[in-house]
Amino acid sequence: MSDLTVFDSRLENEKETRCKIAQWLDSEGYHRGLHGFCKHNKGLPTVPNVMVRPTHSHKKGSRALMVTATHVLDVSIQEPYKGSFWEVDNTYEYTTREQLKDMLDKLVYLDTTAWDDLHLLPEQEKEKEEEETADA
């Protein structure tokens, strides 16, 4: 019989799950940590998670994505950090890794599609317009 209690066994399973999440996030190219400079964790939920660093914050302050085995928590804190607490802005549920990847891609990276054509030279711009007109 094992020396581990049910509680100890479940804690060990949580550690393994966090390690699997961290390995998958690393393999997909996500960076761990937070966007910003807050050094405290007051207000953060105490759930087993791996923190992912987004490329931006929608508030003047810090932001992170907490990936658990079933959810992604979008958390942020406003400056000044000393008198502020972290808040859960949104919670997203996922059931597959593909859903998680799609969700993280939307949450981690800023949407820049409005600027996709900015690098085109004027003659390239004209060619693109002609192609779109021909397709219509």
Model pLDDT for residues 21-35, shown as the tens digit of each residue? 999 999 999 999 999
- The answer to whether residues 85 and 43 touch, using CB atoms and an 8 Å cutoff, is yes
pTM for the full predicted model? 0.76
pLDDT at 114 over 80: no
For residues 103 and 14, which has the higher predicted lDDT (pLDDT)?
103
- Counting residues of the chain whose pLDDT is more than 70, the rounded percentage is 85
CB count within 10 Å of CB 69 equals 14
pLDDT tens column, 69-83: 999 999 999 999 988
Mean pLDDT of 51-66: 93
Which residue is it, tokens 């990276």?
A: 109
Query: Coil, strand, or helix at residue 15?
Result: helix
Lowest mean pLDDT among 5-14, 19-28, 79-88: 5-14
Rounded Cα–Cα distance for residues 56 and 107 (Å) = 9
Does an H or E element contain 90, and which? strand 87-93
* Local confidence band at 1 (pLDDT 50, 70, 90 cut-offs): very low
pLDDT score of 50: 96
Q: 37: burial class by Cβ within 10 Å (0-12, 13-18, 19+)?
A: exposed
Report the DSSP pairing between strands 50-52 and 87-93: unpaired
Among 42, 83, 84, 89, residue whose Cα is nearest residue 63: 89
